Amino acid sequence: MPKNTKPAKNTKPAKNAKPAKSAKSARSATSGASAKSRKPFLIGAAVVAAAALLGFASYQATTPDTKPSVNDQASASDPGEGSPEAAKLARREAKDPLAQGRPDAPVVMIEYADFKCSYCGKFARDTEPQLVKKYVDSGTLRIEWRNFPIFGAESEAAARGAWAAGQQGKFWQFHAAAYAEGSKEKGFGEARMKALADQAGVPDAARFAADVDSDAARTAVKKDQDEAYGLGATSTPSFLINGAPMAGAQPMDEFTRAIDAAARKAGAAGAAGTGKAGTGKAGTAGTTGSSGTAGSAGTPAGAAGTSGTAGAAQE
């Protein structure tokens, strides 16, 4: 186990959160209560083992008795050096509508989140825009979204709605509308979903309604959900930054530290590859962090609870 890796602390179950109810048909296959039959996402046993070593072991494996929770307080989980196997979860698909940033960016941050999660909303409103301006726009960072609905039917409906909006190029606009201050309290029923799609500028309402209720949407959401559960995650938001885990709505400084460290490491790896015979190229990863050092990847993430200012955990 890496010496500097610490399990996440102070991740408390949400007081009002309840496990998703049992699915009554194949159409609700993404329900949280299907945990009885859920198995780790098998990219290889090494992925699960690596993720556990890097900090996701602090999450309890999903069982019928496990209650999903919101990371209401930022956990002081050291991002460490990351896992090469977990880093492979980055899809880097050029036409992925649920991602933003260059496909070949040296750093990829995967976010596992639920639209009914209060602290996911806090991150989306307060921190993510700063990350986009500082890192995505400069080409350093790519953000890949994963739907991780853990609060029941409305969570799943919102996840499918976001996916459906993405099919028309409006995922991030739907994301912003769904996470706007006070939006969660209005719920994610059918009428509300249509209103969010309209607010996001989704051009074809009929197609949106069909996509939300499609098998393709359910399959896509379940793929993301299984990926998160396969890593042992049971709370939101959760992140992987070049394979290194970070739990909770951490303050901007902690994301800056983790992303800068990952960029330096990627730059060092790219620079190391320039001297190979016959290559003659620095490599894409070498465009950031030419210092050639690993940097402060092992720096502790700071005191726990620094982003818990919004009060007690809420659904």
Average pLDDT over every residue of 106-135: 98
| Token pair of 287 as six digits | 């465009």
146-156 pLDDT, tens digit per residue, is: 999 999 999 99
The pLDDT, as a whole number, for residue 269 is: 74
DSSP code for 58:
G
- Cα–Cα distance measured from residue 73 to residue 307, given in angstroms and rounded to the nearest whole number: 6
- Cα–Cα separations (whole angstroms), residue 144 to 94, 103, 128: 11, 10, 12
Model confidence at 220, pLDDT cuts 50, 70, 90, reads very high
Nearest-5° Cα angle at 77, 75 to 79: 135
Q: Which are the contacts of 80, defined by CB distance < 8 A and separation ≥ 6? A: 2, 4, 5, 54, 55, 244, 245, 297, 298
Nearest-5° Cα angle at 111, 108 to 47: 70
Residue 198 or 26, more confident: 198
Residues of the chain above pLDDT 90, percent: 57
29-84 pLDDT, tens digit per residue, is: 444 444 434 444 334 443 444 444 334 433 333 333 344 555 544 343 444 567 88
Question: Taking a C-beta distance cutoff of 8 angstroms, is the pair 290, 267 a contact?
Answer: yes
Q: Quick count: other Cβ atoms within 10 Å of Cβ 203? A: 10
Residue 106 or 268, more confident: 106
Residue in 293, 300, 301, 271 with CA at minimum distance from that of residue 283: 271
Q: Quick count: other Cβ atoms within 10 Å of Cβ 169? A: 12
Model confidence at 274, pLDDT cuts 50, 70, 90, reads low
End-to-end CA distance of the chain: 34
pLDDT for 235 beyond 60: yes
Model confidence at 16, pLDDT cuts 50, 70, 90, reads very low
pLDDT for 312 beyond 70: no
The pLDDT, as a whole number, for residue 105 is: 98
- Cα–Cα separations (whole angstroms), residue 64 to 18, 27, 36, 233, 246: 12, 20, 6, 14, 25
3-class secondary structure, 145: strand
Average pLDDT over every residue of 11-27: 42
Model confidence at 268, pLDDT cuts 50, 70, 90, reads confident
